[in-house]
Amino acid sequence: MGSTGEKINYSLRPAKQIERKMLCIAFQRLSHFAALSSYRYIGFGSFYFHDFMLFHKALGIENMISIERDVVNEARFRFNVPFSCVDLLFGSSNSILPDLPWDVRTILWLDYDYMVDKSVLTDISWFIANSMPSSILVITVNAQPDLLIKTPVENLTQRVSVDKMIPNVKKKDMSGWGIANISRKIINNHLLEELAARNGSRPSGSKFVYQQLFNFHYQDGAKMLTVGGILYDEGQQGQFDGCRFDNLDFIKNDEEPYTIEIPKLTFRELRHLDQQLPTEDFRQLKAQIIPERDLERYSKVYPYFPTFAEIYM
C-alpha cells in the first residue's frame, strides 16, 4: 500500500501545522497528571515526522512509536527517522496496537487520511479498553464530500455498519462540513459505548471519565475532522481541573467545532500585523488593505501560524 507522504507534502499544510501546535499546547497541560517525559507518544509519522519532532522537543517525550502501514517504503521511513527514540513499527494500527504494552500513559494520535470506518472504530475500542488513566486519544479522519458518490449515506453506513450509523441522516446533511459533524457523532457514540463497557464492573468512585477536548475542522485541500480528548478516572478530577484546558480558546467539548481558517497574507502583511498583536478586538488592527475576514482569521491563530520560506542548505 502506498504512503500518503508520497501524495502530500506535510511541510506545506499551514492548517495542519496550526492544529499540531495547538495540540502541543494542550498536551503541555498534562503535567498536572504526571511528568510529560513519562508519557508515550504513538502516531503515524509518514516520511516527515513533524509531530514527532515537535512533541519530542516541546514535551520531552522520548518513548515514541510511529506506525507505518506502507511496508514497501520501509527503507525510506528508516532514513527519515528524526531521533533514535522513535521506534518504527510496520503494519496496520489494528494489528500493532494490541501487541503494545498499555501500562504507560499514552498520547495516541490516529491521524488517518481516509473517512471513518470499522478499522477506525476498532482502534478506538482498543484504546478505551486498555489505556491508562490520564491518557489522550486524538482521531483525524477525512470529511470531504465526494460529489461522484450518488448514495453517500449508504456508503458511510457500509463503512461503519448499520448499528453505528447516525439515524435519519439524509443526503443533504452530508454537504459542506456535514460529514465531519456526522463522523464526530459516530466516533463519540462508539467511544462512549466502549467506555460504558469498561466501567461496567468498576466500583463507584473509580470509574473512567472521558472528556472531549478537541473538535477541529480544517482544510489544506480536503476537509478534515480532528476529534479527541482525555481519559481519566474519577479520583483524578482535581488533577483534570488543574489542567485548565477550558482557558484555551481552541478547546471544544461539544458539537461546536473550532474551525482553523487560513488567511491569505504576504510576509510583509504578517509582520505588520504581528507588531500590533495581541489585541482584544481584531477591528483595532491598522491594515485597511487587508480584508476584514483575514484580519479576524489571523488574530485567532497568529501564535501558531507557520512561516514558510525558501532556504538553501
8 Å CB contact between 146 and 173: no
CA dihedral 222, 116, 77, 58 (to 10 degrees): 80
Q: What 8-state DSSP symbol labels residue 163?
A: G
The predicted-structure confidence for 172-181, as pLDDT tens digits, reads as follows 999 999 999 9
pLDDT band at 8 (very low <50, low <70, confident <90, very high): very low
Instruction: Please give the mean pLDDT across all residues of the chain.
Output: 93
The predicted-structure confidence for 203-260, as pLDDT tens digits, reads as follows 998 999 999 999 999 999 899 999 999 999 999 999 999 999 999 999 999 999 999 9
Specify whether 96 is located in the same domain as 219. yes
DSSP 30-53: GGGTS-GGG-EEEE--TTT-HHHH
The predicted-structure confidence for 130-139, as pLDDT tens digits, reads as follows 999 999 999 9
pLDDT band at 10 (very low <50, low <70, confident <90, very high): very low
The helix (run of H) or strand (run of E) holding residue 152 is: helix 152-160
* Residue 67 domain-assigned (yes or no): yes
Number of folded domains in the chain? Answer: 2
Give the residue from 24, 26, 60, 62 showing the smallest Cα distance to 306. Answer: 24
Cα(251)–Cα(90) distance, integer angstroms = 33
* pLDDT, position 309: 64
216 bridge partner residues = 226, 258
Specify whether 287 is located in the same domain as 197. no
Cα(137)–Cα(209) distance, integer angstroms = 13
* pLDDT, position 114: 96
Specify whether 219 is located in the same domain as 294. no
Specify whether 275 is located in the same domain as 238. no
* pLDDT, position 9: 46
Give the residue from 69, 75, 78, 14 showing the smallest Cα distance to 43. Answer: 69
* Residue 64 domain-assigned (yes or no): yes
Specify whether 159 is located in the same domain as 280. no
**Which stretches of the chain are assigned E, i.e. beta strand?**
40-43, 63-68, 86-90, 106-111, 135-142, 208-219, 223-233, 258-260
Q: How far are the Cα atoms of 5, 38, 213, 214, 263 from residue 54, in angstroms, in the given order?
A: 18, 16, 20, 18, 23
Indicate whether 308 pLDDT > 80: no
Specify whether 166 is located in the same domain as 285. no
* Residue 311 domain-assigned (yes or no): no
Specify whether 54 is located in the same domain as 121. yes
Specify whether 110 is located in the same domain as 177. yes
Pairwise pLDDT comparison (7 vs 79), residue with the higher score:
79
Grid coordinates standing for 242? 488543574
* pLDDT, position 167: 96
* Residue 20 domain-assigned (yes or no): yes
Cα(93)–Cα(230) distance, integer angstroms = 20
Range of 291's domain?
Answer: 267-304
Give the residue from 132, 188, 127, 134 showing the smallest Cα distance to 160. Answer: 188
* Residue 312 domain-assigned (yes or no): no
The predicted-structure confidence for 88-111, as pLDDT tens digits, reads as follows 999 999 999 999 999 999 999 999
* pLDDT, position 148: 82
pTM above 0.85, yes or no: yes
Q: How far are the Cα atoms of 49, 66, 148, 201 from residue 246, in angstroms, in the given order?
A: 29, 30, 40, 31
8 Å CB contact between 289 and 265: no
Specify whether 250 is located in the same domain as 279. no
Specify whether 160 is located in the same domain as 255. yes
Give the residue from 200, 51, 29 showing the smallest Cα distance to 111. Answer: 51
pLDDT band at 312 (very low <50, low <70, confident <90, very high): low
* pLDDT, position 301: 95
pLDDT band at 49 (very low <50, low <70, confident <90, very high): very high
The share of the chain scoring above pLDDT 70, in percent, equals 94
